[in-house]
Amino acid sequence: MTAIIVGASAGLGRALAAELAARGRSLLLVASDARDLDATAADLAVRFGIEAKGLACDAADPDALAASLRRACAGRADVDALLLPLGAVDDADAPLLEAAHAARLVDVNWLAACAAVREVAPHLVDRGAGSIVGFGSIAAVRGRTHNAVYAASKRALASYFESLRHALEPSGVCVSFYVLGYMDTALAYGRPLLLPKADPARVARQVCDRLGRAPGTHYLPWFWRPVTAALRWLPWALYRRLRF
């Protein structure tokens, strides 16, 4: 069977690709850099003896992503998983971020995932099985001064995945959503962090261990569940004193 990973060229996406390849899964890797994708696909194919192909497409253009996936999935009956480790940040991201920059963040962090699901989900529904996995962020727990549009996009994505689970559960498709804390990736490089960064390889193992059998929302690492619960219930008079 074949797993599609959108956002496969770095960080968690690359770790998921390696973990799934080690478990014998064929892969369709989607990201913007064709040369990097081709090298990654070739490496995984040789190391693990699986079929791996790259599909170059920029998540900042959800319509183009949808069209590329539509062509790639046409006539295929072996696609059984869609994983969406997408993410983009902007150092200027704040509530007054100019429209063009905000639109790009919304496209990458939310609408690209919606576009990918729209093209792949019908194949899984037809099979009556399969997995769709989304990835959110603890940044979306409440409004914030920095990374405001990123956080809003991830909050929208969480709501979308809850609706997606509600819609697809009767079909047999497993819809999972992982709320991630700080990851040891380029997105967190050089940023002041309150809690430890998670290893992408370890997160990938946990996600793949649960693939197809853990619907609903999960927190990785686990300790972010009580942390986010505390932040949600913190009175505004106290919360507004936090600066992040």
Q: Quick one: pLDDT at residue 84?
A: 98
Radius of gyration of the chain (CA): 18
Q: What is the mean pLDDT of each run of 10 residues along the chain (244 residues)?
A: 93 96 97 90 96 95 97 92 95 95 97 98 96 96 93 98 97 97 66 73 97 96 92 90 79
Q: Quick one: pLDDT at residue 185?
A: 65
- Alpha helix (H) ranges present in 10-147? 11-22, 34-48, 62-73, 99-106, 112-127
Q: Quick one: pLDDT at residue 163?
A: 98
Q: Quick one: pLDDT at residue 10?
A: 82
Assessment of whether the complete model's pTM goes beyond 0.85: yes
Q: Choose among 68, 69, 87: nearest CA to 79.
A: 69
Question: Which of helix, strand or coil describes residue 2?
Answer: strand
Q: Quick one: pLDDT at residue 195?
A: 66
CATH superfamily label, 2-239:
NAD(P)-binding Rossmann-like Domain (3.40.50.720)
Tokens standing for residue 174: 């497993």
Q: Choose among 26, 27, 34: nearest CA to 13.
A: 27
| Sign of CA pseudo-dihedral 37, 43, 48, 50 | positive
Q: Quick one: pLDDT at residue 168?
A: 97
Q: Choose among 178, 186, 157: nearest CA to 221.
A: 178
Q: Quick one: pLDDT at residue 14?
A: 95
Based on the number of CB atoms within 10 Å of its own CB, is 24 exposed (0-12), middle (13-18) or buried (19 or more)? exposed
Q: Quick one: pLDDT at residue 186?
A: 55
Say how many Å lie between the first and final Cα of the chain, rounded: 42
Tokens standing for residue 77: 């009956």
Q: Quick one: pLDDT at residue 183?
A: 84
Query: Where are the domains positioned within the chain?
Result: 2-239
